[in-house]
Structure 1
Amino acid sequence: MPEIGLFDAIYSARALRRLKPDPVPEEIITRILDAATRAPSAGNAQNWAFIVVRDSEQRRELGAIYRKASAIASEMYKARPRPAHMTEDQYRRMLNSGTYLWDHMGEAPVLLVPCLHARAAPAREMLPASLDAMYERELAYERQIRGASIYPAVQNIILACRAFGLGTLITTNHIRCEDEVKALLGLPPD
């Protein structure tokens, strides 16, 4: 597959919800995942894993979980005002394309599921006394920003896919059913 330049990839990357069923060669997936692991992470922890779902039954089941989670997201979207930069028609088309994705996610030839391992918090007693009063607030802060370490890798995936002419979509709807996704993919609790 011919590659395109970085800025062409940036300027042409879109959230594509109507994905082609064409197979993706293993060497392309390997290059995409290599690009993901080149991303920066907080403290250089690199506490990520990338699950490649090729099995059609697993993709179908993941799509069913996604459909259930997305039904909740859809109601949330419908209940809030549309973004100011979108016309009513653009917003309706975006919502409709989301519905299409729910029904067809399992048909994509491969799904990449980026995962972030939760880093254990330091034991309270190991911290200086001056931080004791802030301990709970710091834990809440870490939970709030945790995803920031995976998103640079996800952006690299999006750009690498675009460079190879592949469609992508970043979605977090399935996190509403995280335990089901973990069980399906055999992921550990963290």
Structure 2
Amino acid sequence: VIMRDLGRPMWVHHEAYNEDVVDGPQAWQTTLLISPDLGDYSVIEASDSGTTMLPSAIAMPTNGDGPIVVAAHAVAPQPQYMDAWRSDLRWLADQCVEGNVIMAGDFNATLDHMSGLGEGDGDLGWCRDAAAETGNGGAGTWPTSIPAVLGSPIDHVLVSSAWEVSGSIVVTNLDDAGSDHRPLVAQLEPAS
């Protein structure tokens, strides 16, 4: 509603795990906003075959013209979840196919963790990291309790060859807004 009131309406797609738990962690929810300028989209249920413990969402264009948009959320690499974390990263790599893909979210992984999961010149699957391409790949997006220069870059915007990255920034002036992650904004242009 806020985006609409600002003159930029968005389609809202939502994926949630454990909806029956009252006041569960916010990490159990993933919301994807897509501009109507990209066309109509349908969200594929990813909960059965997607990331293991936290929801990811895959939005497919219903008219075939727009990009596949993936909102990613991999589980954190805590000792008891290491196998699930590796599985999540492999599954996310499989979603970064050749063609027209934009994937963004909390990967709970740096580019070093993704090493070996890229195809061709991709950092994860066939996708390239927008922040790394624009010189911001080392800026820490987590946690907001420490300066970005000391944080971990675990949030990413990844794009396939259909997109050129013309800019990116890790937003550091909202560290007290309530999240323990910093926003990562990437500017993308269709590849010529």
Q: What TM-score comes out, normalization by structure 1 length?
A: 0.25
Higher relative contact order (CA 8 A, sep 6+): 1
Q: What TM-score comes out, normalization by structure 2 length?
A: 0.25
Higher alpha-carbon Rg: 1
